[in-house]
């Protein structure tokens, strides 16, 4: 064993045996934004054997404030995040095998990747993908770690199939209009705090110290000096469609997904949420203005424009993303606003 | 009486960190509806609820002295 | 204002006004190890105006497991940490003015740097330097943020002169033989957690939101799922020699410092702690063996050797560091073992 | 009775997360000496003590029912 991991093998709950286990494991990180880049860096430094990272976006200037693997040069070159992450991670630890996938983490894509994956780390920015991760976790019996943050607030919860409740037990449905970093802002320390929790849980699972896995959902607000643990033993729903007695894995089903269509000849992608809902157009208008968009609207719809981004949102949640035929990019923009 | 705690943006919407209410005998779902209406909080129906730091489903009945926390799931990452 | 900080200015407690304040401020980071590199990265991404970073070490292989600015190439080139940190930080944010100082953070050196510094962030690995930071903070009325971690445990406390108690109120003396990363090991998530707390406090101070500053000392254990806040209002000692009515700033005084001497012709530095103490040689022997040292000893002393490092420790805390005439490097090795 | 909590490496040394003791009437310094001797904990004299989650100096007198936590200052960074 090289000197490289000496400070980690000195920690008795890992030791040399734990280090060998970490080296033999494969982690799938879904998303390479703030949480994804941070989680990937901590695990690469810790000596994970294999990392698969999937992300559909490229590095933008507004990412640099909190996404730790990226530089100004990555922005200038408009590198896809997964590719830029892989390059930096290889400089950090050339012993780690890294697979970078540029594209949308659909249920089919994730199911195809899951083969020998030991753990999934949620680093996505929307609940549709999280619910799909949750169903894949249950179907293939692979633990995953939920993490999210907005403003100075964040939360994390570790889901071990057969042991803990699952995300569908807690949420029952995809919550629409959760606050996102694009609507509520985000500070770097909140990102770091979620990463600290997700990677600690990851190390416990990788060294197979399941007794140490946190049984509660943690939430915190670093600006308000709050830290709360919510016990989860009673959250398990025996009738849950994801983890109950007769699972249907509803979020692997087309019917529960966002519908997208490229509108021929119009250079536009139409997005329709799986279930009709009512968007608060006035609130959304305020959020978009704060982000720098030029916004126009009426009681039925709202149109917004900023540099190359141009879109229209209707009250029922339907949207037209103009100026693109790229479905993944259109979904990315939509989900950054709606969560 | 019951103490009701708000987390994250719910606190901004409520304008307070916590309120005191008579909630015993109500279910979690009923309390959510009551609070949403009386304190002008949007989207409280999708918030998670804890009673005395333990996750509580919508059907759960609130007892005298219980402390209820509303924690909104967040999506950023 | 560019798009770069849009997600941070969207956070209402910062806003555009707060962003301008951050841009106008100067932070001194003492140490560029795990906490120093992480704190520096978060603040550089957040758009701090000026950073001064001081560190006496160069990048070693065993640092890569947790020190986030450094790569395998920095190890191969044996770059000083402060210099390697500056290079990476400039790629992350070329708008930040960064001064990298390679050397020992003695009280005199720090006092000379303090001119227009608005905040000091403790990222050091020993209490002697922390007590000097604490005295400088009181003497020049500059807030500082204590942070430390070992194993899966860590703590942080924000010290605002005239408002909070100071570190000398809490500790009364330099605690000898605190656990260090070299004796108790350390995992990356514990580092990230301390950084999250230190940088959140830093942002509050930089935007001058002093009401939000955390009034308690936080400590946590991520493996054991502990998180404790200790209220500090009653900790203030009116007779404290650092922050009381008649301050003497004892840690700016030579008498309270480690004594070092280069032993002529022997290529050896002698180190003597300021006050005699009793080292548990048996425990130290176990720690050093776990780190990979070859250790020999008797009831009076212990000698240890690993590649180029070779030293002798006596029961009263005195040590001879062989094979070097560099006092800063010798102190670094000593303090990594004794804290 | 009093609950005594140990943090960080003190917990490894004590072999327990917490112990129950009769400590009322003792000062913090006296309790430290007693615990160090009876639970084989080194270096407890430099640990910080909290009574009911509030920092307590060495001279502070412990009362019936107080929860005492020992938190060692750590140095790594």
pLDDT for res D36:
92
Give the separation between CA C44 and CA C194, rounded to whole angstroms: 17
DSSP assignment of chain D, as one string? -EEEEE-THHHHHHTSSEEEE--TT-BHHHHHHHHHHHTT-TTGGGSEEEETTEE--TTPBP-TT-EEEEE------
pLDDT at C178 exceeding the cut of 70: no
- A114: which strand partners? none
List chains adjacent to chain D, taking adjacency as at least 3 C-beta pairs closer than 8 Å.
C
Residue B60 lies in a domain: yes
| Cβ pair A64:C38 closer than 8 A | no
CB contact under 8 A, C186 and A61: no
For the packed helices A34-46 and C188-206, what is the interaxial angle rounded to 10 degrees? 140
CB burial of C30-58 (b: ≥16 within 10 Å; e: otherwise) equals: bbbbbbbbbbbbbbbbbbbbbbbbbbbbb
By the 10 Å C-beta count (0-12 exposed, 13-18 middle, 19+ buried), A13 is classed as middle
- Cα–Cα dist C223/D67, whole Å: 23
Residue pointed to by tokens 């112990």: D19
- Distance, in Å, from the CA atom of A322 to the CA atom of D67, rounded to the nearest integer, reads 62
Task: Write the CB contacts of A226 (distance below 8 Å, at least 6 apart in sequence).
Answer: A219, A220, B7
- Count of CA atoms in the C-beta half-sphere (13 A) of C168: 25
Helix or strand or coil: residue A335? helix
Min Cα distance D71 → chain C (Å) is: 8
- Dihedral sign, CA of A107, A109, A110, A112? positive
pLDDT tens-digit map of A40-79: 999 999 999 999 999 999 999 999 999 999 999 999 999 9
Which range has the top average pLDDT, A169-183, A257-271, C143-157, C260-274? C143-157
Does residue B77 lie in a domain region?
A: no
Provide the token pair at A188: 């770097």
Which of A3-17, C254-268, D16-30 has the least mean pLDDT? C254-268
Residue of A nearest to B11 (CA): A224
By three-state DSSP, how is residue A201 classified?
Answer: helix
Mean pLDDT of C296-309: 86
Distance CA B51, CA B71 (A): 11
Chain position carrying tokens 């697979």 = A99
Chains with ≥3 CB–CB distances under 8 Å to C: A, D
B45 inside domain: yes
**Rounded mean pLDDT of C256-274?**
84
Q: What is the pLDDT of residue C143?
A: 98
CATH number, residue D26: 3.10.20.30
Query: Which has the closest alpha carbon to A84: A53, A110, A106?
Result: A53
A188-206 helix and A15-23 helix, angle to the nearest 10 degrees = 100
Query: For residue C333, what pLDDT is reported?
Result: 87
Contacts of C152 in chain A (CB under 8 A): 11, 13, 200
* Beta carbons of B69 and A230 less than 8 Å apart: yes
Do the domain assignments include residue B67?
A: yes
**Is it the case that residue A1 has pLDDT exceeding 50?**
no
Tell whether the model's pLDDT for residue A102 goes beyond 60.
yes
CB B74, CB A154: distance < 8 Å: yes
Whole-number average pLDDT of chain C? 92
Residue B7 near chain A (CB below 8 Å): yes
Span C90-103, pLDDT tens digits: 999 999 999 999 99
CA B37 to CA C67: how far, in whole Å?
Answer: 49
Q: B53 in contact with A at a CB cutoff of 8 Å?
A: yes
Residues carrying CATH 3.40.50.720, chain C: 3-252
Query: Do chain D and chain C touch with ≥3 beta carbon pairs under 8 Å?
Result: yes
Question: Contact C72/A93, CB-based, under 8 Å?
Answer: yes
- D46–C170 CB contact, under 8 Å: no
Q: In Å, how far is D72's CA from the nearest CA of chain C? A: 8
- In three-state secondary structure terms, A24 is coil
Confidence of residue A144 (pLDDT cuts 50, 70, 90): very high
Query: Please, what is the end-to-end C-alpha distance for chain B in angstroms?
Result: 37
Residue A251 backbone phi and psi in degrees, to 5: -90, 5
Q: Mean pLDDT throughout C302-318?
A: 87
Find how far residue D54's CA is from the centre of its chain. 13
Q: Return the CATH class of domain A258-338.
A: alpha beta
Chain A neighbours (≥3 Cβ pairs under 8 A) are B, C
Q: How far apart are CA A234 and CA A216, in angstroms?
A: 11
| Mean pLDDT rounded to a whole number for chain D | 93
Q: Which residues, other chains included, contact D55 with Cβ-Cβ below 8 Å and sequence gap of 6+?
A: C165, C170, C217, C230, C231, C232, C234, C235, D48, D49
- Comma-separated ranges of CATH 3.30.310.10 domains in chain A: 258-338
Which pLDDT does position A257 carry in this prediction? 84
Distance CA C319, CA C315 (A): 9
Are B72 and A126 inside 8 Å of each other by CB? no
Burial class (CB in 10 A: 0-12, 13-18, 19+), A239: exposed
Domain count of chain D? 1
Three-state SS for B8?
coil
The per-residue pLDDT for C19 is: 98
Q: How many C/D residue pairs have CB atoms within 8 Å?
A: 116
Q: How far apart are CA C178 and CA C129, in angstroms?
A: 14
Which pLDDT score is estimated for C1? 43
Query: D77 lies in a domain?
Result: no
Contact C42, C18 (CB under 8 A): no
Rounded to 5°, angle at Cα C12 from C11 and C17: 100
Give D-chain residues touching C198 at CB under 8 angstroms: none
Least CA distance to C210: which residue of chain A?
A: A223
Could B54 and A154 be called an inter-chain contact, meaning their C-beta atoms sit closer than 8 Å? no
Contacts of A77 by beta carbon, 8 Å cutoff, 6+ apart: none
Q: pLDDT band at C53, cuts 50/70/90?
A: very high
Asked if C231 and D43 come within 8 Å (Cβ–Cβ), the reply is no
Task: With CA atoms as reference, report the closest residue to A338 among A324, A319, A325.
Answer: A319
pLDDT digits (tens, 9 = 90+) for C64-77: 999 999 999 999 99
Task: Quickly tell me which residue has 């701090």 as its tokens.
Answer: C48
pLDDT of residue C164: 97
Share of chain C above pLDDT 70, in %: 98
- Asked if A touches B (at least 3 Cβ pairs < 8 angstroms), the answer reads yes
pLDDT in tens, C235-259: 999 999 999 999 999 999 988 888 8
Pick D73's closest partner by Cβ from C36, C171, C224: C171
State yes or no: pLDDT of A230 exceeds 70.
Answer: yes
The larger pLDDT score, comparing residue A292 to residue D63, is at D63
Say whether the B–D interface has 3 or more Cβ pairs within 8 Å: no
Q: How far apart are CA C120 and CA C109, in angstroms?
A: 14
Q: What is the pLDDT of residues D35-53, one digit of tens each?
A: 999 998 877 888 999 999 9
* CATH classification number, A3-252, choose in 3.30.390.30, 3.20.20.70, 3.40.50.720, 3.30.530.20: 3.40.50.720
SS3 A112: helix
ipTM for the predicted complex: 0.92
Contacts of B46 in chain A (CB under 8 A): 171, 173, 175-176, 178
Integer-rounded Cα radius of gyration of chain D: 11
State how far the Cα of A308 lies from the Cα of C115, in Å rounded to an integer. Answer: 45
Is the residue at B76 inside a domain? no
Rounded to whole angstroms, the Cα distance separating C134 from C127 reads 10
Q: Which domain holds residue D38?
A: 2-71
Handedness of CA C320, C324, C325, C328 (dihedral sign): negative
Distance from CA of B51 to the nearest CA of A (A): 9
D71 has which bridge partners?
Answer: D48
Q: How many CA atoms, within 13 angstroms, populate the side-chain half-sphere of residue A83? A: 12
- Which of A111-120, A142-151, A312-321, C140-149 shows the lowest per-residue confidence on average (mean pLDDT)? A312-321
C192 in A contact zone (CB under 8 Å): yes
Minimum distance, in Å, between the CA of residue C231 and any CA atom of chain A? 12
Mean pLDDT of C153-160: 98
Higher pLDDT, C287 or A37: A37
**What distance in Å separates the CA atoms of residue A105 and residue A92, rounded to the nearest whole number?**
25
CA angle B70, B72, B77 (to 5 degrees): 150
Which positions in chain B touch A223 (Cβ < 8 Å)?
A: none
- Beta strand C119-122 with C26-30 is parallel
Mark yes or no for CB contact A221/B8 under 8 Å: yes
Tell me what the pLDDT averaged over chain A comes to.
92
Residue-level pLDDT at A83? 96
The pLDDT confidence band at residue A2, using thresholds 50, 70 and 90, is low
Q: Is the pLDDT of residue A85 over 90?
A: yes
Report residue C283's pLDDT band, with 50, 70 and 90 as the boundaries.
confident
Length of chain C: 339
CA distance C335 to C333: 6
- Using the Cβ of B63 and the Cβ atoms of chain A, whether some distance falls under 8 Å is answered with no
User: Once rounded to an integer, what is the mean pLDDT over residues B6-15?
Assistant: 89
Rounded distance, CA B33 to CA B44, Å?
A: 8
């Amino acid at each position: 064993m090289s000197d490289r991991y000496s400070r980690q093998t000195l920690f008795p709950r890992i030791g040399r045996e734990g280090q060998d286990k970490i080296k033999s494991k494969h982690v799938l990180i879904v998303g390479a934004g703030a949480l994804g880049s941070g989680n990937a860096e901590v695990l690469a430094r810790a000596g994970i054997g294999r990392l698969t990272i999937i992300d559909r976006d490229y590095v933008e200037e507004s990412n640099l404030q909190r996404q730790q693997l990226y530089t100004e040069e990555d922005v200038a070159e408009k590198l896809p995040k997964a590719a830029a992450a892989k390059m930096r991670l290889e400089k950090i630890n050339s012993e780690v095998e890294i697979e970078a996938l540029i594209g949308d983490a659909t249920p089919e894509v994730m199911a195809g990747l899951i083969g020998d994956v030991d753990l999934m780390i949620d680093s996505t920015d929307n609940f549709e993908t999280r619910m799909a991760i949750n169903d894949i976790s249950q179907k293939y019996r692979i633990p995953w770690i939920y993490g999210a943050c907005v403003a100075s607030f964040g939360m994390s919860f570790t889901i071990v199939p057969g042991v803990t409740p699952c995300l569908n037990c807690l949420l029952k449905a995809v919550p629409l209009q959760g606050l996102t970093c694009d609507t509520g802002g985000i500070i770097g320390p909140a990102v770091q705090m979620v990463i600290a929790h997700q990677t600690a849980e990851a190390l416990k699972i990788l060294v197979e110290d399941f007794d140490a896995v946190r049984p509660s959902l943690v939430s915190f607000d670093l600006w308000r000096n709050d830290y709360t643990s919510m016990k989860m033993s009673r959250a398990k729903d025996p009738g849950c469609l994801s983890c109950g007695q007769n699972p249907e894995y509803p979020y692997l089903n087309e019917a529960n997904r966002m519908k997208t269509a490229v509108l021929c000849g119009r250079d536009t992608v139409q997005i329709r949420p799986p279930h009709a809902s009512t968007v608060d157009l006035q609130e959304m208008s305020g959020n978009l203005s704060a982000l720098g968009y030029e916004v126009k609207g009426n009681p039925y719809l709202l149109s917004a424009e900023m540099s190359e981004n141009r879109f229209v949102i209707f009250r029922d949640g339907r949207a037209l993303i103009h100026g693109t035929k790229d479905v993944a990019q259109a979904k990315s923009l939509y989900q950054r606003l709606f969560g | 009486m019951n103490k009701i705690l708000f987390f994250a943006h719910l606190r901004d919407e409520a304008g307070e960190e916590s309120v005191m209410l008579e909630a015993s005998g109500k279910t979690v779902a009923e309390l959510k509806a009551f609070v949403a209406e009386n304190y002008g909080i949007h989207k409280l129906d999708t918030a998670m609820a804890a009673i005395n730091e333990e996750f509580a489903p919508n059907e759960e009945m609130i007892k005298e002295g219980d402390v209820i926390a509303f924690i909104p799931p967040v999506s950023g990452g």
